[in-house]
Structure 1
Amino acid sequence: DLSYLHVFEYSERKGTKAAGFEGKVKETEKKKRSKLLHQLSELKHRQFVDKNLNQVRSVLIESKKSGAWLHGFSDNYIKISVPYEQQMVNNIFDVKLKFWNEETKSVLAEIVK
């Protein structure tokens, strides 16, 4: 199952074979396709996150970025937010994934002790 799509619009490069191709895709069509793929990526990512809620995952706590929250990524690359404690930065902890926070686009989690 795909859980994330890295989407970008193709841009022509001078001197490449593709630069000489006929029937180029119009910019408006590129933007339309890109938007659809971004929407699909968001849907697939949320489905993946939802499957992982209430599970325990390892997380590397990377930094303090928003007020009282620390952020990091789980071992399966889900963005995690946990309550701030200075000694947690640059360490790996087991956390229980609680719920999705749309504002921060991350899962709020609690440290498993």
Structure 2
Amino acid sequence: MAAGFLEHLGQGAIEVRSAGSIPGDRVNPAAVEAMKEVGIDISHATPKVLTTEAVQASDVVITMGCGDACPIFPGKRYLDWALDDPAGQGVDAVRAIRDEIEKRIRTLITEITGEQD
């Protein structure tokens, strides 16, 4: 969901990579549905494994509870967002997570670009 918001709201100004330390075999259907409700289609996304190379190539790394499984490199900006895990939850529960992610992404975009939306 975070990558979906960042791609949508960043309007191409920010390169987005999304990966997980232990990715599932598909994107959570409740997350797909919740994002569709706000006009963002993430159904095409495929879970990917987080690689050292991806972290090294990034300026900002957002983690969501991966702990020691996430590689750490000096000079990178890390944000650890403690959010409820949408896995196994229905769309009603995922909406609140989606809305919190959207707020955080909007703040991040403002910090990165210096522009208010």
TM-score, structure 1 as length reference: 0.25
Choose between structure 1 and 2 for higher RCO, CA contacts under 8 A separated by at least 6 residues.
2
More helix by share: 2
- Structure number with greater Rg is 1
TM-score, structure 2 as length reference: 0.25
More strand by share: 1
